Structure 1
Amino acid sequence: MLAVKVPKQEAEKARRKLIELGVLAKGYAIRREGEFILFPLIEPVEGFELVEADFERLEKRPHSYREVVEVPDEVRPLLPSSFDIIGDIAIIELPKELMPYGKAIGEAILRVHRHIKAVFAKGSKVSGEYRVRELIHLAGERRTETLHRENGIRLKLDVARVYFSPRLATERMRIFEKTRPGEVVFDMFAGVGPYAVLLAKKAKLVFAVDLNPWAVRYLEENIGLNKVDNVVPVLGDVRKVAGQLKADRVIMNLPKFADRFLREAMLSVRDGGVVHYYGFGPDGDLFSEHEAKIKTVARELGLGVEFLGERKVRPYAPRQFNIAIDFQVLK
């Protein structure tokens, strides 16, 4: 088979060039010969040393667990097309018709996604003051602690003891990009620190509060893990902290109940400071109810508000969305 032969130190540059030219043969393992790397070609290419070589074919791997899982045909259409991956743990939502086949589904996920080591099904909705859910073990290791990476930070957590959504990584980066160097940030419902630790890379100081002792325990560990020394973890009710500090930016990532804490948020932000408010809204009228509540609380406190932006964050339920409203508080 025709191949390009390049010195090892030039291999990555050559690989990118061959892909750009559309001549790199797919489905074959590259070869190493001493200090040289060989890339298989589909046709000759100029500017490289060309040789003849044999290459080992790569096993074609399925792209989705649905390609390999064995379930009856009548329930196959119910197989979810996606699931959450937190570190090396997969969490999938299965309808009751699929629960008898949970083990087969879990093993299929492990087979297709080699980096996943444990698979769980959602056993309940997120509930309680700690915002956690029951998990049902399907396959792989019987553990719920993992190390998750996103946005350049590492987060250690226990998926059975704390609330964490990997689907908010883009939203967290959006807030990071809006944060200015030197700001004081108040993360009202911090969890294990996905906002707090990330924003600490830019902010002067981050106050991170959570009611769940497990969340604060992992938050403290993540502060050290990411080598940030400007996060102040606080275990307790955010109502007892609010008003005792003045922040440039407040994060209210508690979409189900954030409206109940608007007073505390507004009392904790400086004149001209920004609040990032999260909630749930029905498709077709996502923001108006939340806007009205924000205006009402501001009026009761004798404050003004200016809405800076609104967006859909992600689907939450049929015709329901997790939404974000950014607003400025004027005193």
Structure 2
Amino acid sequence: MHAGDEEGWGLRVPKREAEERRQDLIARGLLDRSRRPRADGADLLLPLTEEVPGAELALFAAFPPREDLPRHELVGGIAIMQDEDVAGAVRILASRPSLHTVVVPLSAVEGEFRTRSFRVLAGEPTTRTTVTEHGHRFAVDLSHAYFSARLSTERQRIRSLMAPAERLCDMFAGVGPFAIACSARASLVVAADLNPAAVSLMCENIGRNRVTNVLPVLADAAHLPRIFGRTFERVVMNLPMESAGFLPAAFALCRPGGTIHFYTLQDAEGGYLERIRAFPVKAVTERRVRSYSPGEWHAVYDIVVGE
């Protein structure tokens, strides 16, 4: 114990998993960045902003005061800034050794391939990086395929809901994070995307994670029922701005008693319940995933399909 140490909640993790777990806590808003992690043998205690399951009380030293960094989001070794601030980008790049590039988006997520263009403000002139998430490693290129590190916890939630040997269809798979995260519980995962660059990265990620039961498909999700029929016990629909238009295809893919996870953006509770109940529904549960913009949030409806 040192003078100035303060007691607080911490999460014990193996050192080899520390960076991955740290990024997950950041994405969930649970990492207390004002205090230093504490080494304890082969483990590291990560300081928390609140108590969570598995947390324990421990003593933590505070970080020395430092200049506040501009707001940014981390995706692997890339920091995405909200504003074009070159001096701030240089400070962000120097703030942690794991970063290699700082960028600012020049557009919103747009087009049929859900991509954005970026300008590199500091570091290596690239939009490609590697993201480590719960034991998996994903090649990501922010300019060529959409990826959100903030859905890491949601991917693990879906995996935890699966029964052994389920068949899962990921209708908008991107570079494969949902498909690969859920593959260990599945007998088959069909992972479809319309974006050729995303499917190419997905194939790379299937190989690097040594997954053998994920089938990558370059296709418009609306056509999947004609290929696979009503085959799947679980369907993931992560295309928040447009997925409502694909609900007919999702119900045509999911077997009675199976579950559809329908992700969307909304500004009112229950905003899509009427549209969902136009289909055969046994039960539906709505939950908020994360804030998206003022007054708007990313929601998921877990839909149990009826006869």
TM class by shorter chain equals 0.7 to 0.9
Residue 159 of structure 2 corresponds to residue 187 of structure 1: no
Alpha-carbon distance, 1:136 to partner:
1.4
Instruction: Name the Cα RMSD after superposition.
Output: 2.5
Residue 245 of structure 2 corresponds to residue 260 of structure 1: yes
Show structure 2 runs of 5+ residues with no match. 3-38, 46-55
Secondary structure at the aligned position of 2:140 is classed as strand
CA offsets 1:239-293 (integer angstroms, 9 cap, x no match): 22224321000000011111100000000011111000011111xx222x31111
User: What is the aligned partner in structure 2 of residue 305 from structure 1?
Assistant: 281
Alpha-carbon distance, 1:307 to partner:
2.8
CA offsets 1:54-111 (integer angstroms, 9 cap, x no match): xxxxxx7666653xxxxxxxxxxxx43xx221111111112xxxx3xx2101101011
Closer, same or farther: CA 14–239 of 1 in aligned 2, 3 Å: closer
Q: Distance in 2 between matches of 1:328 and 1:23?
A: 45
Q: Distance in 1 between matches of 2:297 and 2:43?
A: 42
Q: How does 1:199-210 map to 2 (within 5 A)?
A: 199-210=182-193
Closer, same or farther: CA 132–62 of 1 in aligned 2, 3 Å: farther
Q: Distance in 1 between matches of 2:43 and 2:254?
A: 51
Question: Is the CA contact (8 Å cut-off) linking 2:260 and 2:302 kept in structure 1?
Answer: yes
User: What is the aligned partner in structure 1 of residue 78 from structure 2?
Assistant: 89
Larger radius of gyration: 1
> TM (normalized to structure 1)?
0.73
Q: Distance in 1 between matches of 2:288 and 2:260?
A: 16
Q: Pick from 129, 145, 150: which aligns with 1:146?
A: 129
User: What is the aligned partner in structure 1 of residue 255 from structure 2?
Assistant: 270
| Identity, % of aligned positions | 37
Question: Is the CA contact (8 Å cut-off) linking 2:283 and 2:305 kept in structure 1?
Answer: no
User: What is the aligned partner in structure 1 of residue 180 from structure 2?
Assistant: 197
Show structure 1 runs of 5+ residues with no match. 3-10, 28-59, 67-78, 299-303
Secondary structure at the aligned position of 1:204 is classed as strand
Q: Pick from 100, 121, 128: which aligns with 2:104?
A: 121
Alpha-carbon distance, 1:154 to partner:
0.7
Closer, same or farther: CA 305–144 of 1 in aligned 2, 3 Å: same
User: What is the aligned partner in structure 2 of residue 157 from structure 1?
Assistant: 140
Closer, same or farther: CA 135–326 of 1 in aligned 2, 3 Å: same
Q: Distance in 1 between matches of 2:119 and 2:97?
A: 20
Q: How does 1:1-331 map to 2 (within 5 A)?
A: 12-13=40-41, 65-66=68-69, 79-80=70-71, 83-94=72-83, 99=84, 102-245=85-228, 246-282=231-267, 285-287=268-270, 289-296=271-278, 298=279, 304-331=280-307
